C-alpha cells in the first residue's frame, strides 16, 4: 500500500453573545393554499421530526460524553472549558460520508447513530440536513451561522458523490488550495476562518503539514441577545471563589426577575435557564461547594433531561459574572479514546472521498469563543422599569465554578458546552 496522505479535520465554533447584531423579525403569514398543502405533508413531517429527535438525542448524549472526556483530561484540570458539540458531531458525520467499513462504523457508533438506521446512514444525513436548516434559517433568532467547507489540494480527483452529498446534506462549499505551498495555504485558510467568524478566530491553524490534501472545516457563529438584558449600572465588583485558596475579582452582573430554575437534589446543583431571544437559552448549573467533579461525572443524558424538565418559573435575584471563554482543542486523541480509531491510522478507509490516494485524518482542531455580558442587545435597550416580584426572591449567586450549556429548544440541540472555573482568565 502507498504512503498515507493525512487529512486535517478542523472544527471551529464561535459564539458572540452581547455583540450588537442587526436582525429583522420577519413574520410569515400562512396562506390558505399553504395550509392545504400542509395536510398532505403531515406524515412526512412526522417522520422527519422523529428522525430529528433521534438525531438530537444521540447528539446530546455525545455532547455530554465528550464533555466528560475533556473534563477528565489532566490538561483540563482547573481550566475553563468551552466547545461546540454540535459542530463536532456535524463534521464527523460529514466525514462518515466518505468512509467505509470499520472507519465508518466507528464514526457512526461513537456519535451514537448506531441505532438510527441499520443498513446505511441515510437517515442521519437527512436528519442533519433538516436540523441545519432549522437552526440556521435566516429569519430565526438567535442568529446562528453554521457552515462547512472542504479545502482540497489542487488537482486531486475526488469522488463526485462525496462532494454532492457533503453539499446537499451539510451545505459544504469546496475550495481548492495548494498545500505544497504550506505557508500560503495556512494563511488562506486562516483568512477564510477569520472571515467566517467575523474576526473572532484569528489563527486557527498554527502549522500545516505539506502532506495535507484536504481540510474539512466547520464553523459556527452564534449571535444571542438576552430577552431580559442586565443593567450595566447594577454591575459591581465581587469575589469569585475559584477554589478553597484562590479568590479573584470579577465584574458581577445583577438582575432580579423571573426565570426557569430549580435546585436538583440528585446533582446537588442549582440550575437556571437564561433565555436568549428566539429559541435558545443559556443553561447554568451551579454545583454545591466541592461537588463540581461529581456533577461532571454524573451529567448523563438522563440526568440532563430530568434537570431540564424539572425547571419551574420563580423569582430570583441573579448574580452572574461577566466572562469570556476561548478554548482550543486538539481532539484527535480524545476521539481515539472514545473509539474513533481507524480514521486516524493507516487502517483508515476514506476511499469514498478519493480513490487516487489513501487518506487518513491527521488533525482535529477545534476552537470556540464565548462572551457573556449585560447587553445581549444594544446598551440603549435597557428598560428603566423593573417590576418587583411579589415574593422575596431567592438569591442565586454564581461566585464559584459552574457549568454551562447553550441549548436550542426547537431542535433540542446542545450548541455549546463548557465550564467556568475562573472568569478572569
Ligand atoms: C441500540 O442498539 C443496541 C444493540 O442493538 C441496544 O442494546 C440498545 O438498547 C439500543 N439503544 C437504543 C437507545 O435504542
Ligand atoms: C422558534 O421555533 C418555532 C418552532 O419551529 C418557530 O416557529 C419560530 O419561528 C422560532 N422563533 C424564532 C424567534 O426564531
Ligand atoms: C475545601 O474545603 C472543604 C470544606 O472546608 C473541604 O472539605 C475540602 O477538602 C477542601 N478542598 C481542598 C482541595 O482543599
Ligand atoms: C454521582 O452519582 C453517584 C452514584 O449515583 C452518587 O453517589 C454521587 O453522590 C453523585 N454525585 C453528585 C455530586 O451528584
Ligand atoms: C477500502 O475498502 C475497499 C473495499 O470496499 C477497498 O477496495 C479499498 O482498497 C479500501 N481502501 C483502503 C484505503 O483501504
Answer whether residue 21 shows pLDDT above 50.
no
Residues 353 and 314 grouped into a single domain: no
Q: What is the mean pLDDT of the chain?
A: 82
Per-residue pLDDT tens digits for 68-93: 999 999 988 889 999 989 989 999 99
In this structure, the residues whose C-beta lies within 6 A of any atom of ligand 4 are: 267-268, 291, 294-295, 298
Q: What's the 139 CA to ligand 2 centre distance in angstroms?
A: 9
Give yes or no for residue 100 CB within 6 A of ligand 5: yes
Give yes or no for residue 347 CB within 6 A of ligand 5: no
Residues 350 and 405 grouped into a single domain: no
Please check whether residue 179 lies inside any domain of the structure. Answer: yes
Give me the percent of the chain exceeding a pLDDT of 70: 84
Return d(Cα 321, Cα 343) in angstroms, integer.
41
Residues 198 and 286 grouped into a single domain: no
Q: Decide: 193 and 201 in contact? Cβ < 8 Å.
A: yes
Residues 204 and 100 grouped into a single domain: yes
Give yes or no for residue 349 CB within 6 A of ligand 5: yes
Give yes or no for residue 244 CB within 6 A of ligand 3: yes
Strands 247-264, 214-223: pairing is unpaired
Give yes or no for residue 140 CB within 6 A of ligand 2: yes
Parent domain of 96:
5-21+52-224+325-371
Mean pLDDT of 164-168: 94
Answer whether residue 378 shows pLDDT above 80.
no
Task: Spell out a b/e string for 362-371, using b for 16 or more CB atoms within 10 Å of the CB, else e.
Answer: bbbbbbbbbb
Residues 315 and 339 grouped into a single domain: no
Answer whether residue 374 shows pLDDT above 90.
no
CATH classification of the domain holding 393: 2.30.39.10
Q: Decide: 319 and 274 in contact? Cβ < 8 Å.
A: no
Please check whether residue 27 lies inside any domain of the structure. Answer: no
Q: Decide: 367 and 219 in contact? Cβ < 8 Å.
A: no
Per-residue pLDDT tens digits for 296-318: 999 999 999 899 999 999 999 99
Please check whether residue 32 lies inside any domain of the structure. Answer: no
Give yes or no for residue 141 CB within 6 A of ligand 2: yes
Residues 385 and 353 grouped into a single domain: no
Return d(Cα 169, Cα 312) in angstroms, integer.
37
Mean pLDDT of 320-328: 88
Answer whether residue 96 shows pLDDT above 50.
yes
Phi/psi region, residue 102 (left: phi>0; alpha: psi -120 to 50; beta: rest), is alpha
Pocket test for ligand 5, best of 1, 6, 98, 100 (most atoms within 8 A of CB): 100
Instruction: Report the nearest-CA residue for atom 12 of ligand 5.
Output: 349
Return d(Cα 85, Cα 87) in angstroms, integer.
5
Please check whether residue 36 lies inside any domain of the structure. Answer: no
Residues 183 and 285 grouped into a single domain: no
Half-sphere exposure of 150 (CA within 13 A, CB side): 27
Q: How confident is the model at residue 410 (pLDDT cuts 50, 70, 90)?
A: confident
Give the residues across from 10 on adjacent strands: 217, 365
Q: What's the 235 CA to ligand 4 centre distance in angstroms?
A: 35
Mean pLDDT of 271-283: 90
Q: How confident is the model at residue 101 (pLDDT cuts 50, 70, 90)?
A: very high
Give the residues across from 173 on adjacent strands: 149
Least confident of 24-28, 53-57, 296-300: 24-28
Task: Kindly state the greatest CA–CA separation across the chain.
Answer: 75
The total number of structural domains that make up the chain:
2
Please check whether residue 125 lies inside any domain of the structure. Answer: yes
Give yes or no for residue 351 CB within 6 A of ligand 5: yes
Return d(Cα 146, Cα 132) in angstroms, integer.
8
Give yes or no for residue 290 CB within 6 A of ligand 3: yes
Answer whether residue 260 shows pLDDT above 80.
yes
Q: Which ligand is nearest to the CA of 134?
A: 2
Q: What's the 195 CA to ligand 3 centre distance in angstroms?
A: 46
CA-closest candidate to residue 343, choices 131, 106, 132? 106
Please check whether residue 43 lies inside any domain of the structure. Answer: no
CA-closest candidate to residue 200, choices 425, 37, 394, 17? 17
Residues 198 and 345 grouped into a single domain: yes
CA-closest candidate to residue 228, choices 400, 25, 385? 385
CATH classification of the domain holding 164: 3.30.497.10
Q: What's the 39 CA to ligand 2 centre distance in angstroms?
A: 20
Residues 137 and 237 grouped into a single domain: no
Please check whether residue 42 lies inside any domain of the structure. Answer: no
Residues 273 and 132 grouped into a single domain: no
CA-closest candidate to residue 216, choices 64, 354, 57? 354
Residues 104 and 138 grouped into a single domain: yes
Residues 79 and 205 grouped into a single domain: yes
Counting atoms of ligand 5 from 1, which one is nearest the CA of 347? Answer: 14
Answer whether residue 11 shows pLDDT above 70.
no
Per-residue pLDDT tens digits for 182-237: 899 889 988 988 888 778 788 888 888 777 888 888 888 787 788 888 999 999 99
Rounded alpha-carbon distances, angstroms, from residue 45 to 33, 35, 37, 323:
17, 14, 12, 40
CA-closest candidate to residue 282, choices 257, 296, 263, 261? 261
Convert the chain into a string of H (helix), E (strand) and C (coil): CCCCEEEEEEEEEEECCCCCCCCCCCCCCCCHHHHHHHHHHHHHHHHHHHHHHHHHHHHHHHHHHHHHHHHCCHHHCCCCEEECHHHHHHHHHHHHCCCCHHHHHHHHHHHCCCCCCCCCCHHHHHHHHHHHHHHHCCCCCCEEEEEEEEEEECCCCCCHHHHHHHHHHHCCEEEEECCCCHHHHHHHHHHHHHHHCCCCCCCCCCCCCCCCCEEEEEEEEEECCECCCCCHHHCEEEEEECCCCCEEEEEEEEEEEEEEEEEECCCCEEEEEEEECCCEEEEEEEECCCCHHHHHHHCCHHHHHHHHHCCEEEEEEEEEECEEEEEEEECHHHHHHHCCCHHHCCCCCCCCCCCCCCEEEEEEEEEEEEEECCCCCCHHHCCCCCCCCCCCCEEEECCCCEEEEEEECCCCEEEEEEEECCCCC
Please check whether residue 28 lies inside any domain of the structure. Answer: no
Q: What's the 290 CA to ligand 3 centre distance in angstroms?
A: 7
Amino acid at each position: 500500500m502507498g504512503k498515507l496522505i493525512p487529512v486535517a479535520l478542523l472544527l471551529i465554533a464561535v459564539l458572540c453573545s452581547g455583540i450588537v447584531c442587526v436582525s429583522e423579525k420577519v413574520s410569515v403569514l400562512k396562506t390558505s393554499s399553504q395550509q392545504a398543502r400542509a395536510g398532505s405533508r403531515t406524515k412526512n413531517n412526522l417522520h422527519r421530526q422523529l428522525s430529528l429527535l433521534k438525531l438530537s438525542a444521540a447528539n446530546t448524549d455525545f455532547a455530554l460524553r465528550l464533555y466528560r472526556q475533556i473534563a477528565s483530561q489532566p490538561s483540563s484540570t482547573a481550566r475553563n472549558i468551552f466547545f461546540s458539540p454540535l459542530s463536532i458531531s456535524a463534521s464527523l458525520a460529514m466525514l462518515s460520508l466518505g468512509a467505509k467499513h470499520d472507519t465508518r462504523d466507528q464514526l457512526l457508533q461513537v456519535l451514537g447513530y448506531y441505532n438510527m438506521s441499520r443498513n446505511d446512514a441515510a437517515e442521519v444525513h437527512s436528519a442533519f440536513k433538516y436540523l441545519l436548516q432549522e437552526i440556521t434559517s435566516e429569519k430565526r433568532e438567535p442568529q446562528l451561522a453554521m457552515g462547512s467547507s472542504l479545502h482540497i489540494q489542487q488537482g486531486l480527483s475526488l469522488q463526485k458523490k462525496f462532494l454532492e452529498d457533503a453539499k446537499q446534506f451539510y451545505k459544504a462549499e469546496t475550495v481548492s488550495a495548494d498545500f505544497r505551498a504550506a505557508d500560503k495555504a495556512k494563511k488562506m485558510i486562516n483568512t477564510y476562518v477569520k472571515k467566517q467568524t467575523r474576526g473572532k478566530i484569528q489563527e486557527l491553524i498554527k502549522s500545516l503539514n505539506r502532506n495535507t490534501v484536504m481540510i474539512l472545516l466547520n464553523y459556527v457563529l452564534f449571535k444571542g441577545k438576552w430577552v431580559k438584558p442586565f443593567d450595566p449600572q447594577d454591575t459591581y465588583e465581587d469575589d469569585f471563589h475559584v477554589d478553597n485558596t484562590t479568590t479573584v475579582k470579577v465584574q458581577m452582573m445583577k438582575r432580579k426577575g423571573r426565570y426557569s430554575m430549580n435546585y436538583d437534589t440528585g446533582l446537588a446543583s442549582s440550575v437556571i435557564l437564561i433565555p436568549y431571544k428566539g429559541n435558545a437559552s443559556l443553561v447554568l448549573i451551579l454545583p454545591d461547594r466541592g461537588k463540581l467533579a461529581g456533577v461532571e461525572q454524573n451529567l448523563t443524558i438522563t440526568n440532563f433531561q430530568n434537570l431540564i424538565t424539572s425547571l419551574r418559573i420563580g423569582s430570583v435575584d441573579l448574580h452572574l459574572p461577566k466572562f469570556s471563554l476561548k478554548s482550543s482543542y486538539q481532539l484527535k486523541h480524545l476521539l481515539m479514546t472514545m473509539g474513533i480509531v481507524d480514521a486516524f491510522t493507516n487502517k483508515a478507509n476514506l476511499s469514498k472521498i478519493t480513490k487516487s490516494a489513501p487518506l487518513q485524518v491527521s488533525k482535529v482542531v477545534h476552537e470556540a469563543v464565548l462572551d457573556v455580558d449585560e447587553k445581549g442587545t444594544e446598551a440603549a435597550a435597557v428598560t428603566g422599569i423593573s417590576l418587583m416580584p411579589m415574593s422575596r426572591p431567592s438569591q442565586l449567586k454564581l461566585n464559584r465554578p459552574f457549568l454551562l450549556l447553550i441549548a436550542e429548544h426547537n431542535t433540542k440541540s446542545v450548541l455549546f458546552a463548557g465550564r467556568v472555573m475562573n472568569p478572569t482568565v
